[in-house]
Amino acid sequence: MQRLTNTAELKVLRDNLLQAQDPHRPIVRVCRGPGCLAVGADKVSQAFQSAIQSQNLEVKVQPLVKDTGCHGFCSQGPLVNLAPANLCYVRVKPEDVEEIVQTTLVKGAVVERLLYSDNGTRYKSAADIPFYRMQQKIILQNIGVIDPLDIHDAIMAGAYHSLAKALIEMSPDDVIRTVEISGLRGRGGGGFPTGYKWKRTVENARENPGPVYIIANGEEGDPGAFMDRAIMEGDPHAVIEGMAIGAYAMGVNQGFLYVRHEYPIAIRHLAAAIAQARALGLLGKNILGAGFDFDLQINRGAGAYVCGEETAIIASLEGRVGEPVTRPPYPSQQGLWGRPTVINNVETWANVPHIIDHGAQWYADLGAPRSTGTKIFSLVGKVKNTGLVEVPMGISLGALVEEIGGGVPGQGRFKAVQTGGPSGGIIPYELKEEFTDYHFHPPDVKPADKMELSVDFDSMAQTGSIMGGGGMIVMDDHDCVVDLARYFLRFLEEESCGKCLPCRLGLKGMLEFLNNFSQGKGAPADIDALESLGKALVDGSLCGLGRTAPNPVLTSIRYFRDEYLAHIVDHHCPAGVCRDLITYRIDPEICNGCTLCAQTCPQVCITGANQQLHTIDQDACIRCGACMDVCPVDAVVVD
């Protein structure tokens, strides 16, 4: 690759690449997001490669097969998209590839059976599918489209164009002002204004001259959240470009990408993207001939949830145990090696090129007034259309879950959503209380009503939850809030670094209450005691982990106190989840006496002869559910 020595050369390169491209060339895009890979997308991709290479297709232009990042519609994977028609084939198996090649690529016809269908409608174009139609893709627009391992593909899609614009048309202060006016807030969960953070850092560096560092936080530890992963895997150049623009604005020469170690593909794609960007002179010395030096290095996380906290990341980068420290001093004052440091989430960095490209006002007009722009969510749990969605901030929770998500599958009833991971809360479907007493609500936000709850930083905070990184887990009436609150507490109790007492001991104490509740033990007064302990953690903990840890418990008590009381007073789990409060039973009407359950039961406590009704010995049953898994006729029921 020829090194680019000025911004004009970047434009020439892009124009040449675009010109050399045949707009009619069919492109097969195979999704290699985590969801699709798990159901065999790599075999589908190989099948396409070999089907196209091995035979002489009777077509004028040979199709191009691209492995891309996540297409988003995970519940329908493996996904294949065919350009230029934007055909979307779902649940594609390697056996289907031959038919797609012969029917669609050679004859130009559609394989009807592979189209997505819902309520009797078959959707040809991806753009018509309700799941995609309601989204507004800005950060995701290149993900699933470009080949993340080919910088030329990214450049054709516009990568580094904003960096060039910043370098020639804008002063560093202009860049900071633009980001500030755009209203961009941190996408990692905190929602801190990005432009202000940058401004403070530059001011601190001026008072105390020396190096400044920037870090991308890719330690995406919330369970059920994979937004940052999709960005790093599917469009690594967006993060690199965003960081390069930030580096230019703040006079930074060295940046760090801190990536969760469970994301090997993200690390590989980022490493390849950095190497290619360096070869083109988009990273390294004298970038695009503008006299600006900036380089990036990747640091792998080592498996600690607390390392999503900014001071813990700094400790980890310095080679120490990832324990947070008290703020202030903030990282913008004393961060990595004691120098002013900016830590932004991966998604935040990926927003920056778009703001520079289209201007602050364009961005400020997107989304809601105090929460500008779009946000990526991973919509998972008891929802029909599971996957990754990008929507403008301020969309109603109802539209997100019912229209994009397609509602709850089967007979279930939409009960609640859990947002923000272990630091977030459980928000009920029937949310109608007025918010008057919570921590940080701005006065001009109106109370939310039911599904009209607006998904933005401030409204979410008012419910007692947080926006968080973007995990959105839908619960139906077979999910128990006590059990879910207990799950998150156990998660956090394991992940607490143990440095400060409120978090170390408080979480243990809270967990003890919940363990009791889930066994039907305790008194109603214990709920108040638990609430008060939770509030003590909010006030007393050292870092964000402890301060937000009680949120799932506090919100579930606030909205679902009845369900807690059912456990404690009636010794009954309404959702049928808490193991000590349920029994497994075999329905005599349905059981066909196949003996499978009796053979599988680890306790050997199911009796019954062949072709005869089987029964479970309740005294010996450990409620492992193995009988339920194997029963071919669904005769095992939970009471």
Query: Would you tell me which residues interact with other proteins (CB under 8 A)?
Result: 34-35, 37-39, 74-75, 77, 221-226, 229, 261-262, 299-300, 302-305, 316-322, 378, 380-382, 386-387, 418, 421, 471, 473, 475, 479, 484, 487-488, 491, 497, 600, 602, 624-626, 629-630
Least gap, CB of 418 to other proteins (angstroms): 7
Compute the radius of gyration of the chain from its Cα atoms.
27
Shortest separation between residue 108's beta carbon and other proteins, angstroms: 31
Which C-beta is closer to other proteins: that of 7 or that of 386? 386
Q: Least CB distance from residue 254 to other proteins, whole Å?
A: 12
- Cα–Cα distances in Å, from 629 out to 75, 421, 476, 634, 635? 21, 28, 20, 9, 11
CB burial of 288-324 (b: ≥16 within 10 Å; e: otherwise) equals: bbeebebbbebbbbeebbbbbbbbbbbbbbeeeebbb
Which amino acid, one-letter code, is at 56? Answer: N
CB burial of 571-583 (b: ≥16 within 10 Å; e: otherwise) equals ebbbbbbbeebbe
Taking the least distance from each CB to other proteins, the nearer of 231 and 368 is: 231
Q: Which is nearer to other proteins, 21 or 592 (CB)?
A: 592
Q: How many CB atoms lie within 10 A of CB 200?
A: 15
* Smallest distance from other proteins to CB 625, Å: 5
User: What's the CA gap between 499 and 480, in Å, rounded?
Assistant: 31
d(CA 452, CA 284): 48
Residue where the block lists tokens 């105390």 = 208
Instruction: Identify the three-state secondary structure at position 506.
Output: helix
CB 75, min distance to other proteins, A: 4
**C-beta closer to other proteins: residue 192 or 487:** 487
* Nearer residue to other proteins within complex by CB, 52 or 225: 225
d(CA 52, CA 475): 44
The least CB distance from residue 582 to other proteins, in Å, is 12
Cβ(400)–Cβ(144) below 8 Å: no
DSSP 387-399: EEEEEETT-BHHI
DSSP state of 307: G
Residue 315 makes CB contacts below 8 A (sequence gap 6+) with 321, 322, 323, 324, 325
Give whichever of 303 and 338 is closer to other proteins, judged by the CB atom: 303
Other CB atoms within a 10 A radius of the CB of residue 490 amount to 15
- Nearer CB in complex with other proteins: 30/249: 30
Least distance in angstroms from the C-beta of 576 to other proteins: 12
Nearer to other proteins by Cβ, of 354 and 486: the residue is 486
Q: Which is nearer to other proteins, 110 or 628 (CB)?
A: 628
**Residues in CB range of 348: below 8 A, 6 or more apart:** 184, 186, 187, 188, 194, 242
Residue among 443, 480, 448 at smallest CA distance from 464: 448
Minimum CB separation of residue 341 from other proteins in Å reads: 14
- Least distance CB 110 / other proteins (angstroms): 25
Orientation of helix 172-182 relative to helix 346-358, angle to 10°:
100
Contact of 332 with 197, CB cutoff 8 Å: yes
What does each C-alpha distance from 97 to 42, 233, 332, 380, 441 come to in angstroms?
A: 12, 25, 53, 29, 53
CB of 362 to other proteins, least distance (A): 32
Q: Which is nearer to other proteins, 17 or 622 (CB)?
A: 622
Q: How far apart are CA 303 and CA 293, in angstroms?
A: 32
CB of 394 to other proteins, least distance (A): 25
Token pair in block for residue 31: 């999704």
Identity of the residue, 569 or 622, whose beta carbon is nearer to other proteins in the bound complex: 622
Shortest Cβ 530–other proteins spacing (Å): 20
Closer to other proteins by CB, 355 or 485: give it. Answer: 485
